[in-house]
Amino acid sequence: MLIGGFDAGQTHTRCRLLRVEPEDDTTQGEGDGSGVCHLDAAEGEARFQAALRSSLDAALQAAGLPLNSRLDAAVVGASGIEHGTTLQQRGQRLLSKVLDLPATQTLVTGDERTALHGAFPAGAGIALISGTGMICLGRDQTGREHRCGGWGWRLDGAGSAFDIGHQGLQLSLRMADGRIAETPLRRQLWDALGCTSPAEVKALAAGSALDVAALARLAPLVHAEATRGDTQALEVLARSATALAEAVTTVAQALSLQAPAISAQGGAITHLQGLRDLVSDQLDQQLGHWHWSDHGGDACDGALSLARGLIKQR
């Protein structure tokens, strides 16, 4: 049987294919596709379907399989999907439609759950996701869960790449006004956006081009200037690190986890080493006893684990 595990983010979507066999499971291929947005957004459903199709086609090509190959089961972990809601049901219907599979062979859930299942297939642990957005989910030994964050970029994006990029761009406008001293950060951000004046930045922000994903792509520039000693950029990273550590600490305390294992996932915390180091410092202060867990799988592995469960129920 051929099953698929999808990790659908706002910047891009990954699909990993697994051949399930009696003797041993073998990974067939992996591919990247376009990103998703909230299903209630203007193009939400169209982008969701395009992300699934493009990432699946890329994975099939990587596996050397025909593009019309059928999956036996598939699970998608996507940001913004709340369990037990009509939104989840809509996502489920869209997945079944794209793959031409019955609902019993598909599942759409929040990416925090696929991340947690990938990192900790059994037992306790905390998944901290800091990518375009952020969310933190933990589970104790009894299976009880607690979640912090992930309530959407308008309300709760602290610690995400979007928020880092957004704060950096706000700083650049204050620099342009003379409210704070100018540093190379302003030029770096404006060059990336193709802007030369505050008015151009304002006009860009008023349109659709400067969306959540576009702001998230500015985060590495803020991080780079922070590593060069820009104190304003460093303060942005410090605030983000504090927010992420606060979420982890709250989850650990709610579940009474002693010395919890924490799996860091998402492009911001895995690629921006300065941010991860600051999160570590904050966790040392807030939790004391904890450790990074680097032995588990990722969100695609978690989705595949859930997909195995679907074919076992058939």
| Residue 289 burial (CB count, 10 A) | 11
Please determine, for residue 307, whether its predicted confidence score (pLDDT) is greater than 90: yes
Please determine, for residue 280, whether its predicted confidence score (pLDDT) is greater than 90: yes
| Residue 310 burial (CB count, 10 A) | 18
Question: What ranges make up the beta strands (E) of the chain?
Answer: 2-8, 13-19, 26-33, 73-78, 106-110, 125-130, 134-139, 145-148, 261-265, 291-292
**pLDDT tens digits, one per residue of 174-224:** 999 999 999 999 999 999 999 999 999 999 999 988 999 899 999 999 999
**pLDDT tens digits, one per residue of 120-149:** 988 899 999 999 899 999 999 999 999 999
Using 50, 70 and 90 to split pLDDT, how confident is the model at 24? confident
Structure tokens at 64: 């050397």
Q: How long is the chain? A: 314
**pLDDT tens digits, one per residue of 140-181:** 999 999 999 988 888 988 999 999 999 999 999 999 999 999
Do the Cβ atoms of 51 and 13 come closer than 8 Å? yes
Strands of the sheet with 145-148, listed across from one edge? 145-148, 134-139, 125-130, 261-265, 291-292
Please spell the DSSP secondary structure of 237-249, one letter per residue. HHHHHHHHHHHHH
| Residue 215 burial (CB count, 10 A) | 24
